[in-house]
């Protein structure tokens, strides 16, 4: 039996295969296509009532005549059958639901009238579409298309409406053939002067459809290619020719391309018209066509047709943004934006729609951040710290240098925070060498003089050791103890530190991830300082904060990030910038070199070494494997020691060395026991040797600009002129352009902005712990102006309605913020 049980997928598949093959009445294993459809419609599903069954019988009689129909009528009948099957499937589901739930009131049945002629549209029962309606219940979609959409994670009408295109192809510009220019996307309307369909003489498996078009002024040739033996059939080729009869009018859209025969349209979309001025019905021709993100097995047209089917539901979308807010920021209404992001009438309407939807993505993220900050500020802090006291004043006296204006400004921001009853949550950004540690020490001393303890956590032992050394030199002058806790700390020392923390006699502990271990318990932790905080995970930072009762939190980074990234990642933090370097800090001479100039680099290094200076030579992580990284560093170390600089002592430092080996290598270099340190990026932060005056970075094109700037900051810390040599093996213009930014600028904030433009936020931050929200449309590179407006709008809303009594806005915030951030708390 062809139709013992409804097999909607199989029937639709048969129609799709026939359509794909040009309506040739394909021959299957048992039946021709027309025979199969005739038998199918001859056995209506038992769930259907008499009116529906009558229409099925009518369809069966139409497919009995299919072999004798012209191609155009076959095409119309197949389209009619596809729509009819979708409507029938929806009707069967309704009947089944009524029978499964007999207690529910029966719905009013809507029946089909007598079937129209094949080239008319099927008058399917009209159902009102709601936003939360499953796509399977949308009449024009049905089960088959809904299965495709489910592969994209789209299950409801709302899901589909908010599934934005990733791009658009603009076919809306209609031009004459004489106006065509290569590289443009256009639509032409012209008369068919000749149509041929033939097998390629060079490739028997390739069939070519060739159409010559003419308008008022010129001619052009269009070609479509069909690969496969099934298209070599002469009957199929003749049927295709009949679809494009000479003298008829055709609309064609595509990308204009130069060929040896002149200009043509690449892979054109074509539609027959009744007259030159006739309306174009296709969703792919003569309009701005949306291009959606797809996955394997999901045709582009399925998504476009599905979106078109549910667009009327935009009328049910309520706009959470009040008119005053929209007018203030020049935004169109949300329903209009949804319509125009999918099928814009022109480029202006598309841009207006995109601007509104990008604004929304940023706005709800910023509103969520501000709401989080408000919640934090409503939490009572255990530590209320006075801004002045003996320790802070004494520290100012023992400092051998004067603070810069920027340092003093940031210290004032911090001290103001510490006087409040709510916990501080501030990020301090400062360029390499800007003096962030001094600023942090003032905050630490404010906590200690108020009777609280402080903790400073750094991501690596090298950096933690560096901080500890600096703090010891200052704290000794203040007669204060400070200890270091890392993975390398001996067991006996570790126990001693734990005991001193619990009694409160140890006011400050510096360390790595070791600080968040369960056995580390503070007596009264009042301040947490996290350096290079982007290198820690969310939970690691939170775990340290939980060591105290709502301690103040100061985070620091020597990797400045642009304001757009800071707002997107740290929108709930107060941000301070140390944007001024201490006086006397020299600019570092930075030069990009090619492999041919290596000897010049070695000559400069040798001159510096002869004068008693020291040199870093850094190698990149060539592969993900740490072993390959070690091998590269080891090979370079041996070559430099044996062949290039045998008269000097060369040291080696890489990430797979033990902590003791790393300490030894750094100490040897610090004490000038080794003059050259060959290292991987483990020295990016934390190694401070004022006598080092040259930084040579191999394969510099493999690094991001911000990372190169960090590495460059290892030199220029003394009184002697320093040099950074960027050795690159790349000949690409992009690499050269990127490295020239470092040659021209020493400003970390400018460099990070350029890095963002060159590489994008994911690469700048690193994908592993970037914490970036998942935006559908917004770009942190292209939409900075909109982000700033959205932040301004969010602050305005919180000022006027801090409890969000606008229930529509509150509900949208909860939905959007959770979706954007995946429910995670960033800081």
pLDDT of residue 141: 82
Encoded tokens for 27: 């021959």
Q: Cα-flanking dihedrals φ and ψ of residue 636, to 5°?
A: -65, -40
Encoded tokens for 77: 């009948």
Confidence band (pLDDT; 50, 70, 90) for 814?
A: confident
pLDDT in tens, 380-415: 665 667 666 788 889 988 888 888 898 999 999 999
pLDDT of residue 818: 67
Confidence band (pLDDT; 50, 70, 90) for 121?
A: very low
Is residue 356 pLDDT above 80, yes or no? yes
Burial of residue 450 (CB within 10 Å: 0-12, 13-18, 19+) is middle
Lowest pLDDT segment from 159-163, 501-505, 652-656: 652-656
Q: Cα-flanking dihedrals φ and ψ of residue 170, to 5°?
A: -95, 100
Highest mean pLDDT among 122-126, 562-566, 820-824: 562-566
Report domain 395-419+435-557's class. Answer: alpha beta
pLDDT of residue 826: 34
pLDDT of residue 539: 65
- The beta strand positions in 385-523, using DSSP E, are 425-430, 453-457, 482-485, 508-511
pLDDT of residue 46: 79
pLDDT of residue 324: 92
pLDDT of residue 387: 61
pLDDT in tens, 688-743: 788 999 999 988 888 888 888 888 888 888 888 999 999 988 878 888 888 999 89
pLDDT of residue 372: 80
Mean of the pLDDT values across residues 615-637?
69
pLDDT of residue 655: 77
Which residue is associated with the tokens 């430092």?
653
pLDDT of residue 214: 92
CB–CB of 435/404 below 8 Å? yes
Please give the angle made by the CA atoms of 214, 218 and 220, to the nearest 5 degrees: 60
* Distance from C-alpha of 319 to C-alpha of 326, rounded to nearest angstrom: 10
Which one has a higher pLDDT value, 537 or 313?
313
Mean of the pLDDT values across residues 264-278?
80
pLDDT in tens, 205-235: 899 999 999 988 899 999 988 888 888 888 8
Burial of residue 322 (CB within 10 Å: 0-12, 13-18, 19+) is middle
What percent of the chain is modeled with pLDDT above 70?
Answer: 86
pLDDT of residue 629: 52
Alpha carbon separation from 744 to 36, 249, 591, 592, 741 (Å, rounded) = 73, 60, 9, 11, 5
pLDDT of residue 19: 84
Mean of the pLDDT values across residues 281-299?
78
Angle formed by the axes of helices 8-20 and 142-150, nearest 10°: 80
Which residue is associated with the tokens 């930072």?
541
Query: Is the fold of 167-291 the same as that of 589-745?
Result: no
CB–CB of 509/453 below 8 Å? yes
pLDDT of residue 105: 42
pLDDT of residue 628: 47
pLDDT of residue 104: 45
DSSP 8-state symbol, 320: S
**One CATH from 2.70.150.10, 2.40.50.140, 3.40.309.10, 3.40.50.2300 for 167-291:** 2.40.50.140
Mean of the pLDDT values across residues 570-590?
79
Domain boundaries, the chain: 8-126, 167-291, 314-379+787-821, 395-419+435-557, 589-745
pLDDT of residue 606: 94
Encoded tokens for 170: 């603009």
Which one has a higher pLDDT value, 353 or 66?
353
Confidence band (pLDDT; 50, 70, 90) for 175?
A: confident
Highest mean pLDDT among 116-120, 207-211, 770-774: 207-211
pLDDT of residue 118: 35
Q: Cα-flanking dihedrals φ and ψ of residue 3, to 5°?
A: -140, 50
Is residue 124 pLDDT above 50, yes or no? no
Lowest pLDDT segment from 83-87, 120-124, 141-145, 426-430: 120-124
pLDDT in tens, 320-338: 999 999 999 999 999 999 9
Question: Over the chain, what is the mean pLDDT?
Answer: 82
Alpha carbon separation from 590 to 77, 121, 434, 774, 791 (Å, rounded) = 72, 70, 19, 37, 37
Confidence band (pLDDT; 50, 70, 90) for 771?
A: low
User: At the topology level of CATH, where does 589-745 sit?
Assistant: Rossmann fold (3.40.50)
């Amino acid at each position: 039996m062809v139709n013992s049980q409804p097999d909607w997928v199989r029937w639709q598949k048969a129609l799709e295969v026939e359509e794909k093959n040009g309506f040739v009445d394909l021959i299957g294993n048992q039946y021709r296509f027309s025979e199969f459809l005739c038998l199918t419609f001859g056995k209506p599903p038992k769930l259907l009532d008499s009116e529906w069954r009558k229409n099925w019988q009518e369809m069966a009689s139409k497919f009995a005549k299919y072999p004798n129909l012209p191609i155009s009528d076959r095409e119309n009948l197949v389209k009619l059958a596809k729509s009819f099957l979708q409507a029938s499937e929806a009707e069967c589901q309704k009947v089944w639901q009524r029978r499964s739930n007999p207690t529910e009131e029966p719905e009013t049945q809507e029946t089909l009238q007598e079937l129209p002629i094949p080239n008319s549209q099927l008058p399917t029962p009209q159902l009102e579409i709601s936003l939360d309606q499953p796509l399977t219940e949308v009449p024009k979609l049905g089960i088959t298309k809904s299965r495709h959409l489910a592969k994209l994670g789209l299950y409801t009408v709302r899901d589909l409406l908010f599934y934005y295109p990733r791009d658009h192809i603009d076919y809306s510009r209609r031009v004459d053939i004489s106006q065509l220019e290569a590289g443009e996307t256009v639509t032409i309307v012209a008369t068919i002067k000749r149509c041929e369909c033939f097998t390629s003489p060079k490739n028997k498996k390739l069939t070519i459809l060739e159409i010559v078009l003419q308008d008022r002024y010129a001619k052009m040739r269009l070609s479509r290619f069909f690969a496969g033996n099934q298209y070599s059939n002469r009957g199929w080729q003749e049927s295709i020719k009949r679809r494009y009869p000479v003298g008829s009018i055709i609309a064609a859209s595509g990308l204009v391309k130069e060929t040896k025969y002149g200009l043509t349209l690449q892979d054109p979309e074509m539609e027959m018209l009744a007259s030159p001025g006739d309306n174009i019905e296709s969703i792919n021709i003569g309009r701005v066509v949306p291009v959606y993100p797809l996955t394997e097995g999901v045709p582009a047209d399925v998504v476009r047709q599905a979106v078109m089917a549910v667009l009327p539901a935009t009328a049910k979308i309520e706009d959470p943004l009040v008119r005053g807010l929209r007018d203030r920021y020049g935004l169109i209404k949300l329903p209009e934006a949804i319509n125009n992001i999918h099928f814009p009438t022109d480029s202006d309407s598309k841009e207006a729609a995109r601007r509104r939807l990008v604004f929304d993505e940023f706005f709800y993220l910023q509103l969520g951040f501000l709401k989080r900050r408000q919640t934090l500020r409503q939490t009572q802090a255990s530590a209320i710290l006075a801004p002045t006291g003996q320790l802070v004043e004494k520290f100012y006296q023992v400092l051998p240098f004067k603070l810069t204006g920027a340092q003093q400004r940031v210290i004032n921001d911090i001290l103001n925070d510490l006087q409040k009853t709510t916990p501080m949550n501030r990020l301090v950004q400062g360029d390499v060498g800007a003096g962030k540690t001094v600023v942090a020490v003032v905050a630490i001393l404010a906590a200690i003089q108020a009777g609280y303890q402080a903790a400073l956590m750094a991501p690596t032992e090298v950096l933690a050791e560096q901080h500890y050394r600096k703090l010891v030199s200052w704290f000794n002058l203040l007669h204060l103890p400070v200890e270091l806790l890392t993975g390398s700390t001996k067991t006996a020392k570790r126990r001693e530190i734990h005991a001193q923390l619990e009694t409160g006699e140890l006011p400050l502990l510096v360390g790595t991830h070791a600080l968040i271990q369960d056995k580390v318990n503070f007596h009264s932790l009042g301040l947490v300082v996290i350096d290079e905080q982007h290198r820690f995970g969310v939970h690691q930072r939170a775990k340290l904060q939980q060591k105290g009762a709502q301690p103040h939190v100061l985070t620091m980074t020597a990797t400045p990030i642009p304001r757009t990234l800071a707002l997107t990642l740290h929108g709930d933090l107060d941000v301070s910038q140390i944007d001024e370097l201490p006086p006397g800090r020299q600019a570092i001479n930075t030069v990009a070199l090619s492999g041919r100039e290596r000897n010049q680099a070695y000559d400069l290094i040798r001159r510096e070494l002869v004068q008693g200076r020291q040199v870093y030579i850094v190698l990149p992580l060539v592969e993900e494997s740490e072993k390959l990284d070690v091998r590269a560093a080891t090979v370079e170390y041996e070559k430099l020691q044996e062949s290039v600089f045998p008269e000097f002592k060369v040291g080696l430092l890489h990430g797979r060395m033990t902590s003791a080996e790393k300490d030894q290598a750094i100490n040897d270099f610090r004490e000038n026991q080794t003059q050259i340190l060959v290292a991987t990026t483990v020295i990016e932060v934390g190694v401070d040797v004022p006598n080092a005056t040259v930084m040579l970075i191999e394969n510099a094109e493999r690094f991001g600009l911000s990372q190169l700037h960090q590495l460059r900051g290892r030199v220029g810390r003394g009184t002697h002129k320093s040099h950074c040599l960027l050795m690159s093996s790349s000949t690409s213009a992009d690499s050269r352009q990127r490295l020239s930014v470092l040659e021209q600028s020493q400003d970390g904030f400018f460099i990070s902005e350029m890095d963002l433009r060159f590489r994008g936020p994911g690469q700048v931050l690193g994908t592993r712990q970037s914490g970036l929200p998942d935006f559908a449309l917004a770009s942190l590179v292209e939409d900075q102006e909109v982000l700033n407006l959205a932040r301004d709008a969010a602050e305005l809303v919180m000022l006027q309605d801090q409890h969000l009594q606008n229930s529509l806005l509150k509900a949208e915030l909860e939905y959007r913020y959770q979706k954007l951030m995946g429910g995670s708390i960033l800081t």
